[in-house]
Amino acid sequence: MPSLRRLQGRNNEGTLLLVLIGLCVIMSLLNPVFFSINTAFSIMRSTTVPLILALAVLLVIISGGIDVSFPVVAIASAYTSVTLMLNFDFDYGVPVVFLMSACIGAVLGLINGVVIARFRLPTLIVTLATQGIFFGAMLTYVGSRYHPDLPPSMSRLSTVNVVNVVTSNGKAYLHVLVLLAVVVALLVWGLLKWTMFGRSLYAIGGDYEGARRAGFRVVRTQVLTYVLVGVIASLAGVAHIVMSRSANPQDLVGGELDIIAAVVLGGASIFGGRGSVLGTVLGVLLIQVINNSLLLVGVPGAWLRAAVGILLIVGIGIQTVSARRKARRVHSVEDAATPAGKEA
C-alpha cells in the first residue's frame, strides 16, 4: 500500500496522470490522427498561455485566496505595452516588452494585494472589483483598438520555433514560447519548495491565524503574492499576443474559470494550503487534451464548456469527499487510540 500511496502523490497527481494517459490512449484508439507529434505540439502550444496563468493562480490558491482579475491583468499589461510601442514608435526588443509588461502587471498586482491584505477583505470580491476597474481603465485610457500588426521584434518572435519536424502529416512546429512556460514552471516550483516565502504561502493557507501567531509576516507575504501573480500573468499576456500575432484588448478576459478549474483539478485545495506545480501542469494539460480531443472525435464545440464544468465538479468532488473521509478517520477514536499503545 505505501508504494501505491506514493504513486498517488500528495495531491492526487498520480491519479491525474493516469487519467491523462488513459484519455490519450482512448483518443488514439478512436482516432489514429490524435496519436501524432503534430497533436502533441499543438497541445503544448495551446497549453503555454493557460499554464503560465495557472501557475500564477496556483500561488494565490495555496495562500488561501482566489484571484479572478488575472486575465485582465495579463491582457491589460501586455496590450498597454504594445500600444505604447506602436503609438510612440519604439522597439527595443522582446526582453524590454516583457519587462515593461511585468512592471505594469506588478503595479496592478500591488493594488490587489494592498487592498486585500491591508484591509483584510475577501479576495474574490476585491479581485472581481479590480477586474472591472482594470478592464475599464484600459479601454478608456489605453484604447480598445485591435492591433493587427505587432512591433517588429514581437512579430519576428511569433514565427520562431524550437523544433521543426517533418512528419507524414506535414511539418510539425513547436513554438519557442513553450520554453517560457517551462521556465516559469521551474521558477514557481523552486519558489514553493526552496524559499521561506513559499513555505509561508502554505502556512498562511493552512491556518491564517496560526501563521500570524507563529510570527509569519502575513500582510507582507500576501501583498507580495499578488504582485507576483501580476508579474507572471503579464508574461502570459505578452506570450499570448506574440503567439496570436495580434493585440486584441478583449482577449483572455472571461477565461479565468478554465484556468482556476485546471488548478483545482491539479489538486490545489480551494480552501488553501495545498497544491503543487506538477499537479497544475497536469491539470492544464488535461483540460487542453479534452478540448482538443473532443473536437477531434466530433463533439460539438458548445459541449466543451460543459465538459470543463463537469470535470471541475468531479475534481472538486473527489477532493472534498476524500478530505471529509480523512477528517472522519482522524476523529474516529480507534485511530486516535492506537498510537497510545506504542511506547514513547
Partner 1 sequence: MTTNVEFGASVDAAPPVLSVHGLAKRFGGVVALRDVSLELRPGEVHCLAGENGSGKSTLIKIISGAEFPDGGQIVVDGESRERMDTTSAIETGIQVIYQDFSLFPNLTVAENIVLTSAVAQRHKFHNARRARAQAKEIVEELQLDLDLDADVGNLSVANRQLTAICRAMISRARVIIMDEPTTALTHAEVTNLFVLVDKLRDRGVALLFVSHKLNEVLRISQRVTIMRSGAVVTAGPVEDFDIKSITKFMTGLDIDDVRTLPELSPEAEVRLEVVGLTLPGAFWDVNFQVRKGEILGITGLLGSGRTEIAESLFGIVPAERGTVRVDGESVAIGSIRDAVSAGIGYVPEDRLTQGLFLEKSIADNIVASSLSEHRTKWRVLDRRRIRATIDELFQKLHIQAPNAKAAVRTLSGGNAQRVVLAKWLATNPKILILNGPTVGVDVGSKAQILDLLREQARRGMAVIVISDDEPELVACCHRVLVVTKGRVSGELAGDDVSVETIQQSMAV
Single-letter code of the amino acid located at 129: A
Question: What is the DSSP secondary structure assignment for residue 147, as one 8-state letter?
Answer: B
Report the site for partner 1 in 240-279 (rule: CB under 8 A).
269, 273-274
Interatomic CA distance for residues 202 and 254, integer angstroms? 28
Contacts of 171 (CB under 8 A, 6+ apart): 164, 165
Among 5, 145, 171, 328, binds partner 1 (CB under 8 A): 328
Single-letter code of the amino acid located at 137: A
Instruction: At 82, give phi and psi (nearest 5°).
Output: -65, -45
Judged by CB under 8 A, does residue 1 bind partner 1?
no
Judged by CB under 8 A, does residue 89 bind partner 1?
no
Tell me the window of 42-50, 84-92, 312-320, 324-332 that interacts with partner 1 (CB under 8 A).
324-332
Q: CB 328 → partner 1: shortest distance, Å? A: 5
Q: Which is nearer to partner 1, 143 or 206 (CB)?
A: 206
Judged by CB under 8 A, does residue 326 bind partner 1?
yes
Judged by CB under 8 A, does residue 211 bind partner 1?
yes
- # residues contacting partner 1 (CB under 8 A): 42
Judged by CB under 8 A, does residue 330 bind partner 1?
yes
Interatomic CA distance for residues 222 and 126, integer angstroms? 14
Judged by CB under 8 A, does residue 199 bind partner 1?
yes
Judged by CB under 8 A, does residue 196 bind partner 1?
yes
Question: What is the DSSP secondary structure assignment for residue 162, as one 8-state letter?
Answer: E
Judged by CB under 8 A, does residue 193 bind partner 1?
yes
Interatomic CA distance for residues 104 and 124, integer angstroms? 21
Judged by CB under 8 A, does residue 14 bind partner 1?
no
Q: Which residues sit opposite 175 in a β-bridge? A: 161
